[in-house]
Structure 1
Amino acid sequence: MSIKAATLPASPLQPETTSMFDQPKAVWAIVFACIIAFMGLGLVDPILPEIAKEFHATAADVTLLFTSYNAVMAIAMLITGVISTRIGVKKTLLTGIVIIAIFSALGGMSDGVTALVLLRAGWGLGNALFVATALSAIVSLSRTGVAKSIILFEVAVGLGISVGPLLGGELGSISWRGPFYGVASLMVVAFLLVTTLMPSANKAAGKSAPKKKASLLDPFRALKHRALRDFGIAAFLYNFGFFTLLVYAALVLSHLGLDTHGLGYVFLGWGLLLAFTSVFMAPRLQKRSGTIKSMCIQLTLFAITLLVMANWTTDKNVIIWCVIISGAFLGNNNTLITTAVMNAAPVERPTASAAYSFLRFIGGAIAPYMAGKLAEWFNPHTPFVVGGVCVLLSVLFLLIERKHLVHVDKAEAH
């Protein structure tokens, strides 16, 4: 059954008396699996140049590894609720893990960019099934309440995103196939941990399980709530900047002479800063300035960073430091917007997450390929300019819609 978290008694980002790390083994099993699952986001980042070289592909061709992954994730998010309410949360998580492991291993055996792109699409399906239910599972099984459950989830996201490029860089220096086999192996471990440590769906859901099965229309109905739709649109725009940084910046740094090891360490620094700020800075920002204002500030700083990269695209040191520093802005924003989405509409949290993720991953699907094409059509600076402008548009959109989002801050302050 689907998991519906209890009503939040305090601000999701304010400190609570119980330690965030005081969790049952089942939660740690899911957190570990989350880290591995989110490795997939940045895993291929350091090896994109090697894949392009191996298969004589263009920059735009290899960006399709992210486009197919995110496009399938966006669409699959719409069916995750239907699946989880029929086979149960635990089986949905395990199904996602198995699919990730299979397609990751097959990716390591592929013999061309087209095959890799298609296999990454399958990987995206597995990730959608896992990610869409992981947060609600952690919330339901946690001892610390919704607030710290969300932050713990963001820790897993940050660690996965940061470790992914490092693993990709280290194993990719041996062979570009190595990272794919590495994730497949780790997912086998995650499968065993979740199987043995997570309770059955009925025990996990308890009395909070919904009485009816989810419908394919539920995410679309959820988007009728203006606040949830607004956050999804803002994330759609913001992801243009996010994936321009994640994908295109790696290709730029490779062109400037950074090898696979170097790319791995640069994005490790980016990911570690992202994880640190999502846990330790975002709660303070939310408490001091409120969610919406804090989001707008962080997104504005991120947009400025992208525009700096646009101006100094040929300066390797500037690009490296901008990539790393941007992790702070992205980490803060990720936690802030995730918490806001959970309080944006009076719908079940898995449904809200699926609806929001559908919109944001569409942006994540378009941005990587568009960045590669913009560089081909115009010049190497253009993708960063477009990414920065899209992030600024997300800020402008949030400011325009702010009067429809004030209830989010009020709910968190209650």
Structure 2
Amino acid sequence: MSRSSGAAHAPSPFRQPKAVWAVAFACVISFMGIGLVDPILPSLSGQLDASHAEVELLFTSYLVVTAIAMLVTGWVSSRIGAKKTLIAGLVLIVAFAALAGASSGIWGIVGFRAGWGLGNALFIATSLAVIVGSASGGFAGAIVLYETALGLGIATGPLVGGLLGTVSWRGPFFGVSVLMLVALVATVVLLEPTPVPEHRASLAEPIRALRHRALATTSGVGLLYNWGFFTMLGYAPFLMGGLDPIALGGVFFGWGLLVALFAVFGAPWCKERFGTARTLYAALVGIAVLLAAIGLFDTVPAVVIVAVILSGIVVGLNNTLVTTAVMSISPVPRPTASATYGFVRFIGGGLAPLAAGLLAGALGASVPFLIAAVVVLAGAALLATIHGPLQDADADSVREGASQERADAEAAVREVPGLPAESVIAEDALQHDRR
């Protein structure tokens, strides 16, 4: 961050109210849930006498429910307000994570992970808006804080899962429940009540948004990419030579660290120098190559481990820039675009691990990874059909007061009473560039 003299000061993520820190802490714990179960997948399979396909349902139930719930988060928050939506999501995560830890069989865990996914959707869809709306002394700092929380959660989730998993496979679930309970109490106490928005979103808005070609195409790319990503995340632990939970946690911690670094720092740098489209082509091809390497050398644990860790680079780039593309070229308000994109991409992420388990059991472990590599390449080909709009969006992002950004910002002003229009408009443009 650069410093300026006089009245204008560079926003700092360390000059925020306690409410912002409370929600940011909850974000870290929530994002930990993405990779938390990775290190204990082999343990769960062995101790609960579950097949690989059954264990993969931990991802499927969580992500498919998250996807479907994305369609209703706007409807809920527009009727009860952001704080109540946030609290509802946190309560569900606390309850269902604890119930998953107390389960006696794989099917109980799968069911409770679905409830966890519902809470996660309500929380994730609302947390960024709450952080920005509660920030003071610089909204840019709040955005940096959110992105940092996301990165820390993705990186530390597998590590915490590995450490607690050495005690028991129940440890990671109870651990998240306790940490989220702390976050829930902090949010209730520190976050001021938020008003109910004047505009009430309809349930059909995210589905109707798919009529727009640019959004439908970009969401399709997200689905195909997530198929490859969650094939790797969900099934690769079974190919790492019987590593214990701590070692598996270390592998995915290295992966998550690269995801965080390249999502926050690498993606903006690459976008500025090479453009969104070219960077995404390279990232998608890179993911496909790494998936193919795992498929071709599935019996060589060292290759699998190195490929998984290196994938953090291209996953970080892709996560940020595909989201940027969705928000840049979608002709609908960003909350609607985000819900639509989340619904489509998490469907792919949820079905891929289950398919990997079934395919590996029937045809061999290399097959799901080779299929995933082809699927991701298909995503790159699909992305090429909107190359022009992506280039136009890059050009618009450097012009002050782009129409889409200003329209979204003016809509946000109506949703956040008391927030100066100029602040929201400026922050909307900043958020667009960073994502």
One-letter code aligned to 1:291: T
Give 1:42's aligned residue.
35
1:76 is displaced (CA, Å) by 0.6
1:283 is displaced (CA, Å) by 1.1
- Contact kept, 8 Å, 1:73 with 1:127, in 2: the verdict is yes
- 1:233 paired residue among 205, 214, 220: 220
Task: Tell me: CA distance 1:355–1:344, structure 2 relative to 1, closer, same or farther (3 Å).
Answer: same
- 1:185 paired residue among 165, 178, 183: 178
- Contact kept, 8 Å, 1:292 with 1:409, in 2: the verdict is no
- Contact kept, 8 Å, 2:12 with 2:140, in 1: the verdict is no
- Contact kept, 8 Å, 2:68 with 2:343, in 1: the verdict is yes
- 1:96, 1:407 → 2: CA distance? 37
- Contact kept, 8 Å, 2:53 with 2:357, in 1: the verdict is yes
Give 2:160's aligned residue.
167
1:171 is displaced (CA, Å) by 0.6
- Contact kept, 8 Å, 1:155 with 1:278, in 2: the verdict is no
- Contact kept, 8 Å, 1:151 with 1:335, in 2: the verdict is no
- Contact kept, 8 Å, 2:56 with 2:234, in 1: the verdict is yes
- 1:139, 1:291 → 2: CA distance? 25
Task: Tell me: CA distance 1:141–1:223, structure 2 relative to 1, closer, same or farther (3 Å).
Answer: farther
One-letter code aligned to 1:235: G
- 1:348 paired residue among 324, 333, 337: 333
Matches within 5 A, 1:206-225: 211-225=198-212
- 1:289, 1:269 → 2: CA distance? 26
Give 1:260's aligned residue.
245
Give me the TM-score of the superposition, normalised by structure 2: 0.86
- Which deviates more from structure 2 when the two are superposed, residues 139-148 or residues 341-350? 139-148
- Which deviates more from structure 2 when the two are superposed, residues 330-339 or residues 140-149? 140-149
- Contact kept, 8 Å, 2:27 with 2:150, in 1: the verdict is yes
Give 2:300's aligned residue.
315
- Contact kept, 8 Å, 2:11 with 2:140, in 1: the verdict is no
- 1:183, 1:355 → 2: CA distance? 28
1:151 is displaced (CA, Å) by 5.1
One-letter code aligned to 2:261: F
- Which deviates more from structure 2 when the two are superposed, residues 42-51 or residues 334-343? 334-343
- 1:258, 1:392 → 2: CA distance? 30
The gaps in structure 1 that reach 5 residues or longer are 1-15
The gaps in structure 2 that reach 5 residues or longer are 1-8, 400-435
Task: Tell me: CA distance 1:18–1:167, structure 2 relative to 1, closer, same or farther (3 Å).
Answer: same
1:43 is paired with a residue whose SS is: coil
Task: Tell me: CA distance 1:99–1:347, structure 2 relative to 1, closer, same or farther (3 Å).
Answer: same
- Contact kept, 8 Å, 2:262 with 2:316, in 1: the verdict is yes
1:141 is displaced (CA, Å) by 3.5
- Which deviates more from structure 2 when the two are superposed, residues 144-153 or residues 101-110? 144-153
One-letter code aligned to 1:271: G
Give 1:6's aligned residue.
none
One-letter code aligned to 2:206: P
1:17 is displaced (CA, Å) by 4.5
Give 1:118's aligned residue.
111
Percent identical pairs in the alignment equals 50
One-letter code aligned to 2:308: V
- Contact kept, 8 Å, 1:63 with 1:372, in 2: the verdict is yes
Give 1:5's aligned residue.
none
Matches within 5 A, 1:333-344: 333-344=318-329
1:413 aligns with 2:406: no
Give 1:132's aligned residue.
125
1:201 is paired with a residue whose SS is: coil
- Contact kept, 8 Å, 2:38 with 2:233, in 1: the verdict is yes
- 2:132, 2:288 → 1: CA distance? 32
Give me the TM-score of the superposition, normalised by structure 1: 0.90
Give 1:65's aligned residue.
58
- 2:210, 2:182 → 1: CA distance? 36
1:244 aligns with 2:231: yes
- Which deviates more from structure 2 when the two are superposed, residues 352-361 or residues 24-33? 24-33
1:152 is displaced (CA, Å) by 4.0
Give 1:4's aligned residue.
none
- Contact kept, 8 Å, 2:20 with 2:142, in 1: the verdict is no
Task: Tell me: CA distance 1:24–1:53, structure 2 relative to 1, closer, same or farther (3 Å).
Answer: same
- Contact kept, 8 Å, 1:103 with 1:119, in 2: the verdict is yes
